Protein backbone atom coordinates (compact mmCIF):
# COMPACT_ATOMS: atom_id res chain seq x y z
CA UNK A 1 0.00 0.00 0.00
CA UNK A 2 2.81 2.33 0.84
CA UNK A 3 4.55 1.52 -2.42
CA UNK A 4 1.32 2.22 -4.26
CA UNK A 5 0.88 5.56 -2.59
CA UNK A 6 4.49 6.44 -3.32
CA UNK A 7 4.04 5.57 -6.97
CA UNK A 8 0.87 7.64 -7.07
CA UNK A 9 2.72 10.58 -5.64
CA UNK A 10 5.58 10.28 -8.10
CA UNK A 11 3.16 10.08 -10.99
CA UNK A 12 1.25 13.12 -9.72
CA UNK A 13 4.46 15.05 -9.50
CA UNK A 14 5.40 13.94 -12.99
CA UNK A 15 2.09 15.16 -14.35
CA UNK A 16 2.33 18.38 -12.43
CA UNK A 17 5.75 19.15 -13.84
CA UNK A 18 4.75 18.07 -17.35
CA UNK A 19 7.58 15.59 -17.40
CA UNK A 20 7.26 11.89 -17.95
CA UNK A 21 9.50 9.79 -15.74
CA UNK A 22 10.57 7.21 -18.26
CA UNK A 23 12.26 4.25 -16.59
CA UNK A 24 13.27 2.88 -19.98
CA UNK A 25 15.58 5.76 -20.83
CA UNK A 26 18.81 5.31 -18.88
CA UNK A 27 20.42 8.54 -17.75
CA UNK A 28 23.78 9.30 -19.23
CA UNK A 29 25.27 9.62 -15.79
CA UNK A 30 28.81 10.04 -17.04
CA UNK A 31 27.83 12.89 -19.36
CA UNK A 32 25.99 14.77 -16.63
CA UNK A 33 29.00 14.50 -14.35
CA UNK A 34 31.65 15.57 -16.86
CA UNK A 35 30.22 17.73 -19.62
CA UNK A 36 29.70 21.49 -19.79
CA UNK A 37 26.20 22.93 -19.89
CA UNK A 38 24.98 20.90 -16.93
CA UNK A 39 23.33 22.46 -13.87
CA UNK A 40 24.73 21.52 -10.48
CA UNK A 41 22.69 22.16 -7.33
CA UNK A 42 23.99 21.85 -3.77
CA UNK A 43 21.03 21.49 -1.42
CA UNK A 44 21.82 21.32 2.30
CA UNK A 45 19.15 20.38 4.84
CA UNK A 46 18.69 20.22 8.56
CA UNK A 47 16.41 17.65 10.16
CA UNK A 48 13.95 19.35 12.50
CA UNK A 49 13.61 18.19 16.10
CA UNK A 50 10.05 16.87 15.64
CA UNK A 51 11.42 14.10 13.48
CA UNK A 52 12.59 12.28 16.56
CA UNK A 53 9.09 12.28 18.03
CA UNK A 54 7.95 9.85 15.34
CA UNK A 55 7.96 6.19 16.24
CA UNK A 56 10.88 4.13 15.02
CA UNK A 57 8.55 2.34 12.63
CA UNK A 58 7.24 5.59 11.16
CA UNK A 59 10.82 6.73 10.59
CA UNK A 60 11.70 3.50 8.82
CA UNK A 61 8.69 3.86 6.51
CA UNK A 62 9.56 7.49 5.83
CA UNK A 63 13.16 6.62 4.98
CA UNK A 64 12.06 3.88 2.63
CA UNK A 65 9.80 6.33 0.80
CA UNK A 66 12.77 8.62 0.16
CA UNK A 67 14.87 5.75 -1.16
CA UNK A 68 12.15 4.85 -3.65
CA UNK A 69 11.83 8.44 -4.74
CA UNK A 70 15.53 8.83 -5.39
CA UNK A 71 15.63 5.63 -7.36
CA UNK A 72 12.85 6.95 -9.60
CA UNK A 73 14.60 10.23 -10.25
CA UNK A 74 17.95 8.60 -10.89
CA UNK A 75 16.73 7.80 -14.37
CA UNK A 76 17.01 11.44 -15.26
CA UNK A 77 19.32 13.26 -12.90
CA UNK A 78 22.43 12.35 -10.93
CA UNK A 79 21.92 12.57 -7.18
CA UNK A 80 24.86 12.28 -4.78
CA UNK A 81 24.56 12.40 -1.01
CA UNK A 82 26.75 13.79 1.76
CA UNK A 83 26.64 13.62 5.53
CA UNK A 84 27.27 17.09 6.96
CA UNK A 85 26.02 16.28 10.46
CA UNK A 86 28.84 16.44 12.99
CA UNK A 87 31.01 18.59 10.69
CA UNK A 88 28.86 21.57 9.58
CA UNK A 89 26.90 23.37 12.24
CA UNK A 90 23.64 24.20 10.51
CA UNK A 91 23.12 21.26 8.19
CA UNK A 92 22.73 17.50 8.54
CA UNK A 93 22.78 16.24 4.97
CA UNK A 94 23.41 17.55 1.46
CA UNK A 95 22.50 16.47 -2.02
CA UNK A 96 24.51 17.36 -5.10
CA UNK A 97 22.24 17.13 -8.11
CA UNK A 98 23.39 17.28 -11.74
CA UNK A 99 20.65 17.85 -14.31
CA UNK A 100 20.15 19.07 -17.85
CA UNK A 101 17.56 21.53 -16.54
CA UNK A 102 16.98 23.13 -13.14
CA UNK A 103 13.28 22.31 -13.50
CA UNK A 104 14.22 18.63 -13.19
CA UNK A 105 16.14 19.40 -10.02
CA UNK A 106 13.19 21.38 -8.69
CA UNK A 107 10.87 18.49 -9.46
CA UNK A 108 13.09 16.16 -7.45
CA UNK A 109 13.57 18.47 -4.47
CA UNK A 110 9.89 19.35 -4.36
CA UNK A 111 8.97 15.68 -4.37
CA UNK A 112 11.55 15.05 -1.67
CA UNK A 113 10.13 17.82 0.53
CA UNK A 114 6.66 16.35 0.02
CA UNK A 115 7.60 12.97 1.50
CA UNK A 116 6.96 12.09 5.13
CA UNK A 117 10.66 12.61 5.82
CA UNK A 118 10.84 15.73 3.67
CA UNK A 119 8.28 17.48 5.82
CA UNK A 120 10.90 17.45 8.58
CA UNK A 121 13.68 18.85 6.39
CA UNK A 122 14.59 22.51 6.69
CA UNK A 123 16.36 23.80 3.57
CA UNK A 124 19.37 25.72 4.86
CA UNK A 125 21.36 26.43 1.66
CA UNK A 126 20.62 25.97 -2.00
CA UNK A 127 23.46 26.83 -4.36
CA UNK A 128 23.11 26.55 -8.13
CA UNK A 129 25.77 26.63 -10.84
CA UNK A 130 26.41 25.76 -14.43
CA UNK A 131 29.37 23.77 -15.73
CA UNK A 132 31.31 25.41 -18.58
CA UNK A 133 34.40 24.73 -20.66
CA UNK A 134 37.57 26.05 -19.00
CA UNK A 135 37.61 29.82 -19.44
CA UNK A 136 41.24 30.70 -18.88
CA UNK A 137 43.16 27.48 -19.57
CA UNK A 138 43.27 28.01 -23.35
CA UNK A 139 45.31 31.16 -22.72
CA UNK A 140 47.81 29.54 -20.35
CA UNK A 141 51.50 29.13 -21.31
CA UNK A 142 52.60 25.89 -22.95
CA UNK A 143 54.54 24.66 -19.89
CA UNK A 144 51.48 25.24 -17.73
CA UNK A 145 49.23 23.43 -20.17
CA UNK A 146 51.69 20.57 -20.18
CA UNK A 147 51.86 20.49 -16.40
CA UNK A 148 48.08 20.34 -16.20
CA UNK A 149 47.86 17.54 -18.74
CA UNK A 150 50.50 15.43 -17.07
CA UNK A 151 48.89 15.66 -13.62
CA UNK A 152 46.44 12.88 -13.02
CA UNK A 153 44.13 12.95 -10.01
CA UNK A 154 44.09 9.71 -8.04
CA UNK A 155 41.28 7.41 -9.08
CA UNK A 156 38.65 6.11 -6.66
CA UNK A 157 36.14 7.47 -4.22
CA UNK A 158 37.18 10.19 -1.82
CA UNK A 159 36.12 10.57 1.82
CA UNK A 160 35.55 14.27 2.24
CA UNK A 161 33.74 16.93 0.25
CA UNK A 162 33.91 20.69 0.75
CA UNK A 163 31.75 23.36 -0.91
CA UNK A 164 32.89 27.00 -0.89
CA UNK A 165 30.85 29.63 -2.73
CA UNK A 166 32.68 32.74 -3.97
CA UNK A 167 31.85 36.20 -5.21
CA UNK A 168 34.37 38.25 -7.12
CA UNK A 169 34.55 41.99 -6.56
CA UNK A 170 33.64 44.47 -9.32
CA UNK A 171 37.34 45.16 -9.95
CA UNK A 172 37.86 41.56 -10.98
CA UNK A 173 35.21 41.69 -13.68
CA UNK A 174 36.55 45.04 -14.85
CA UNK A 175 39.97 43.53 -15.63
CA UNK A 176 40.55 42.57 -19.23
CA UNK A 177 40.63 38.90 -20.24
CA UNK A 178 44.45 38.80 -20.60
CA UNK A 179 45.06 40.18 -17.14
CA UNK A 180 42.61 37.72 -15.66
CA UNK A 181 44.25 34.88 -17.57
CA UNK A 182 47.63 35.86 -16.11
CA UNK A 183 46.20 35.95 -12.61
CA UNK A 184 44.46 32.62 -13.09
CA UNK A 185 47.68 31.07 -14.38
CA UNK A 186 49.38 32.13 -11.13
CA UNK A 187 46.40 30.68 -9.24
CA UNK A 188 46.66 27.41 -11.16
CA UNK A 189 50.42 27.25 -10.62
CA UNK A 190 49.85 27.46 -6.87
CA UNK A 191 47.29 24.67 -7.06
CA UNK A 192 49.43 22.27 -9.12
CA UNK A 193 51.07 20.40 -6.23
CA UNK A 194 47.66 19.39 -4.94
CA UNK A 195 46.12 18.14 -8.19
CA UNK A 196 46.82 14.50 -7.42
CA UNK A 197 45.11 14.38 -4.04
CA UNK A 198 42.44 17.07 -4.22
CA UNK A 199 39.79 16.92 -6.93
CA UNK A 200 38.20 20.25 -7.85
CA UNK A 201 35.11 21.13 -9.82
CA UNK A 202 33.91 24.62 -10.69
CA UNK A 203 30.32 25.80 -11.18
CA UNK A 204 29.40 29.23 -12.55
CA UNK A 205 26.63 30.80 -10.48
CA UNK A 206 26.20 34.49 -11.40
CA UNK A 207 22.47 35.20 -11.41
CA UNK A 208 21.42 31.76 -10.18
CA UNK A 209 22.16 32.44 -6.52
CA UNK A 210 23.92 35.09 -4.42
CA UNK A 211 27.38 34.04 -5.67
CA UNK A 212 29.56 34.04 -8.80
CA UNK A 213 31.07 30.58 -8.39
CA UNK A 214 30.68 27.41 -6.41
CA UNK A 215 33.97 25.64 -5.82
CA UNK A 216 33.63 21.98 -4.96
CA UNK A 217 36.43 19.77 -3.60
CA UNK A 218 36.85 16.06 -2.87
CA UNK A 219 39.78 14.61 -1.02
CA UNK A 220 41.00 11.85 1.25
CA UNK A 221 43.67 14.18 2.62
CA UNK A 222 42.15 17.15 4.36
CA UNK A 223 45.60 18.49 5.17
CA UNK A 224 46.40 18.66 1.47
CA UNK A 225 43.10 20.43 0.88
CA UNK A 226 43.98 22.91 3.63
CA UNK A 227 47.41 23.36 2.03
CA UNK A 228 45.77 24.06 -1.32
CA UNK A 229 43.51 26.75 0.14
CA UNK A 230 46.47 28.36 1.93
CA UNK A 231 48.41 28.38 -1.34
CA UNK A 232 45.48 30.01 -3.13
CA UNK A 233 45.21 32.70 -0.46
CA UNK A 234 48.73 33.81 -1.32
CA UNK A 235 48.20 34.64 -5.00
CA UNK A 236 47.07 38.02 -6.26
CA UNK A 237 43.72 36.77 -7.61
CA UNK A 238 42.63 36.13 -4.01
CA UNK A 239 42.33 39.87 -3.39
CA UNK A 240 39.25 39.89 -5.60
CA UNK A 241 37.32 37.31 -3.59
CA UNK A 242 34.44 38.57 -1.50
CA UNK A 243 32.39 36.48 0.92
CA UNK A 244 34.91 33.77 0.25
CA UNK A 245 34.21 30.88 2.66
CA UNK A 246 30.69 31.48 3.80
CA UNK A 247 28.89 29.15 3.99
CA UNK A 248 31.70 26.61 4.01
CA UNK A 249 29.98 23.21 3.82
CA UNK A 250 32.15 20.34 5.01
CA UNK A 251 31.01 16.72 5.00
CA UNK A 252 31.75 13.16 4.10
CA UNK A 253 30.70 11.44 0.90
CA UNK A 254 28.25 8.67 1.81
CA UNK A 255 25.80 6.34 0.15
CA UNK A 256 22.28 7.57 0.78
CA UNK A 257 21.44 4.36 2.63
CA UNK A 258 24.09 5.08 5.23
CA UNK A 259 22.86 8.61 5.77
CA UNK A 260 19.21 7.70 6.00
CA UNK A 261 20.09 4.85 8.35
CA UNK A 262 21.23 7.47 10.86
CA UNK A 263 17.81 9.05 10.78
CA UNK A 264 15.84 5.80 10.80
CA UNK A 265 17.30 4.50 14.03
**Contact by Cβ (8 Å): 169, 175:** no
Determine which residue in the list 87, 144, 192, 202 makes contact with a second copy, applying CB under 8 A: 87
Q: Which 10-39 residues touch a second copy, going by CB under 8 A?
A: 12, 16, 37, 39
Nearest to 17 by CA among 115, 108, 98: 108
**119 an active-site residue?**
no
CB of 144 to a second copy, least distance (A): 21
DSSP codes, 72-120: HHTTTSEEEEEE-TTTSTT-SEEEEEEESSHHHHHHHHHHHHTSTTGGG
* Given the residues 96, 200, 239, 242, the one annotated as active site: 200
Nearer to a second copy, 23 or 86 (CB): 86
Is position 212 an interface residue for a second copy (rule: CB under 8 A)? yes
Going 64 to 65 to 67 to 72, the CA torsion angle's sign is positive
Query: β-pairing, 213-219 with 198-204?
Result: antiparallel
Q: Write the interaction track for a second copy spanning residues 109-128; mark x where CB under 8 A is met and - where it is not.
A: xx--xx----xx--xxxx-x
Least separation, in Å, of the C-beta of 24 and a second copy?
25
Q: How far apart are CA 40 and CA 125, in angstroms?
A: 14
174 binding a second copy? (CB under 8 A): yes
Rule CB under 8 A: say whether 50 interacts with a second copy. yes
- The count of chain residues that interact with a second copy, using the rule CB under 8 A, is 79
Instruction: Give the one residue of 211, 213, 214, 218 binding a second copy; rule: CB under 8 A.
Output: 211
The binding track of 53-82 with respect to a second copy, each residue x by CB under 8 A or -, is ------------------------------
Spatial distance between the Cα atoms of 98 and 114, rounded to a whole number of angstroms: 20
229 binds a second copy (CB under 8 A): yes
Cα three-residue angle 14-20-26, rounded to 5 degrees: 120
Q: What are the residue numbers of the active site?
A: 200
Amino acid sequence: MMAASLMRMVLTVALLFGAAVSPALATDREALLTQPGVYGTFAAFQMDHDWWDLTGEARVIAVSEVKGLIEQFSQKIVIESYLLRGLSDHADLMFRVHAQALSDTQQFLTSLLGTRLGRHLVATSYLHGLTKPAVYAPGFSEPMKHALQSSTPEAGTKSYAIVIPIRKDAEWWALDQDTRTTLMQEHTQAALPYITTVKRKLYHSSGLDDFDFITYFETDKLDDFHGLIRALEQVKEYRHDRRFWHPTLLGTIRPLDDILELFAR
